[in-house]
Amino acid sequence: MNTLSESPRGTIVHDEIVPALAPWMHVVKAGQTLRIIDLEGNQAVDFLIYAADDDSERYSAQDTIAAQRNVYLRDGAALLSNEGRPMMTITGTSVAYHDTIGGACSCESNTLRYGHHTKAQHACVENFLDANVRAGRNKRDMVSNINFFMNVPVEADGTLGIVDGISAPGLTVDLRAEMDVTVVVSNCPQINNPCNGFNPTPVRMVVTN
Amino acid sequence: MTSSTANPNDARAHARAMAGTIVEAMPMLPPQADDVPGEVLWEETVAAGGYTSRRIARGTRLRLVDLYGDACASMLLFNAESPVERLNVADTIKVQWNGYLGAGKLLLTDMGRVIMSIVEDDAGTHDVFCGASNEASNARIYGTGKNYSPYPNARDRFMLAVAKYGLGRKDVHPCINWFKGVRVADDGATLPELGPFAPGRSLVLRAEMDLIAVFANCPHVLDTRPEFAVTPLRVTAWRGAVTEADDPIRQASPEGLRAFLNTEDYYRR
């Protein structure tokens, strides 16, 4: 097992490796910190947040962008809900910034981006649904997401796209929960673009008090 | 002294005497518009701070006019027969490799289909990044953002609108703001383009699916002007043909063509 690049502060209450391609769901209590470790580097981690006691309050990329007046998520960024309330805060990151405008890959959008031959491939929305359906949620609950470790530059004429990642083995992002939250992760299975170097790999999730 | 509304007959007469009143922000029934090339289906002026919604058939053209230069037409879209399918802003920009909307661009759903296309646009300042104002953001600027106040916020307007279709808070998804722009700087900073602009800027959208369109017309969330700076929005729709196979917007990109193929496949029934 890889070791943490810098040990997390506090007591570890959960430590789990999410396999390549897989979903993951976990409740992080207010005050706890979730560290995501990109074990092998360049792995996109698609990420939804719901208020644990009311899942109609959830992460909103547009509210987060408007409030911080920036489309990239850097150290210190408050991740806001559709009520404008902080759900989690990025309290440390060894990657310069993370994406929240690129959305999640789906079987359906893959047919547009790469061709209909990709329809049967596994995708992030499939992972989100896999986890959410078991918790009573469905596609109505798919709204906007964060892509940790994913790089989506926007050029002057508006051109944007997913490009080679800026992460590396062992790099981390720390997220402090500001309320009790359910986080749902898709450890991105995309193999048609550079979001994970065309090679999905495992990530590690460590929750500390 | 006897009031003019002291009994039901007088109250009825009083109420009926209001009929025929014309104000600027109202729907016109039946709809009339002498400057559109087709049977007019919808003609409404949306108040500053107002909202509206409409079920629209595939092929319908929808024109938005920023009458006085300060409208902010925040828009949600749903597949009318299955509203769990809806506009997906992230897929719209990712699939088209560009974050700025304009003529020839498509609006995509979360099921890989094109739901509207932008036929004409003489505004050029639109925003897919910053979304709707909310009660807290309005309260910071105007002191309140409640629906019953003079300063309603766009997201709460959306919630009222979708509730009338049996939808709820989970269905209020990321929106597009027409007429108010946000550009992205090299460092990711959001650069607002909020006007006020010249009066009369317009755009024409084409419905590629049977859809429900929802509009809120409230100040942009990045607009810090202390007065509730928003002006009425004109919405006009007219009947039109379903997009033909050789349509230039349909043919414009391989990604967009596949979105049309997916939409056409959906209607192959």
A3, part of any domain: no
What pLDDT is recorded for position A5? 53
Interface size, chain A vs chain B, as Cβ–Cβ contacts under 8 Å: 138
What pLDDT is recorded for position A10? 85
| Nearest-by-Cβ selection for B94 from A72, A102, A111 | A102
Confidence category of residue B34, pLDDT binned at 50, 70, 90: confident
Q: Do A70 and B190 touch (CB under 8 A)?
A: yes
Segment A66-78 mean pLDDT: 98
Residue of A nearest to B173 (CA): A143
What pLDDT is recorded for position A9? 75
Q: Is the pLDDT of residue A84 over 90?
A: yes
| Nearest-by-Cβ selection for A84 from B98, B129, B134 | B134
Please report, as a single letter, which amino acid is at residue B182.
Answer: V
pLDDT tens for A170-185 read: 999 999 999 999 999 9
What pLDDT is recorded for position A6? 65
Give the integer Cα–Cα distance in Å for B75 and A49.
24
Q: Do A71 and B184 touch (CB under 8 A)?
A: yes
Among the listed residues B104, B107, B46, the one whose alpha carbon sits nearest the alpha carbon of residue B72: B46
A150 CA: distance to closest CA in chain B (Å): 13
> Is A61 touching B (CB cutoff 8 A)?
yes
Range of the domain at A136: 19-208
| Nearest-by-Cβ selection for B90 from A56, A97, A103 | A103
B111 CA: distance to closest CA in chain A (Å): 5
pLDDT tens for B47-91 read: 999 999 999 999 999 999 999 999 999 999 999 999 999 999 999
DSSP letters for A82-151: TTS-EEEEEEEESSS-BBSSS----HHHHHHHT-GGGTTS--HHHHHHHHHHTTT--GGG----EEET-B
A12, part of any domain: no
Q: Is the pLDDT of residue A131 over 80?
A: yes
Residue of B nearest to A55 (CA): B170
What pLDDT is recorded for position A26? 98
Which residue did the predictor score with more confidence, B6 or A1? B6
A2, part of any domain: no
Residue in A54, A62, A125, A128 to test binding to B, most B beta-carbons within 10 Å = A62
Question: Is omega for the bond preceding B226 within 30 degrees of 0, making it cis?
Answer: no
| Nearest-by-Cβ selection for B188 from A72, A107, A139 | A72
Give the integer Cα–Cα distance in Å for B13 and A199.
75
Confidence category of residue A1, pLDDT binned at 50, 70, 90: very low
pLDDT tens for A152-208 read: 999 999 999 999 999 999 999 999 999 999 999 999 999 999 999 999 999 999 999
How many domains is chain A partitioned into structurally?
Answer: 1
Give the integer Cα–Cα distance in Å for A140 and A134.
14
Confidence category of residue A7, pLDDT binned at 50, 70, 90: confident
Among the listed residues B118, B101, B214, B88, the one whose alpha carbon sits nearest the alpha carbon of residue A109: B88
What pLDDT is recorded for position A3? 44
Q: Is the pLDDT of residue A74 over 70?
A: yes
Give the integer Cα–Cα distance in Å for A169 and A92.
16
User: pLDDT > 70: what percent of chain B?
Assistant: 99
Contacts of A82 in chain B (CB under 8 A): 134, 155, 169, 172
Q: Do A101 and B262 touch (CB under 8 A)?
A: no
Q: Is the pLDDT of residue B25 over 70?
A: yes
A165, part of any domain: yes
Query: Taking a C-beta distance cutoff of 8 angstroms, is the pair B212, B53 a contact?
Result: yes
In our burial notation (b when 16+ CB lie closer than 10 A, e otherwise), range B182-207 reads: bbbeeebebebbbbebeeebbbbbbb
ipTM over 0.85: yes
A176, part of any domain: yes
Contacts of B132 in chain A (CB under 8 A): 62
| Nearest-by-Cβ selection for B95 from A71, A97, A113 | A113
pLDDT tens for B237-256 read: 999 999 999 999 999 999 99
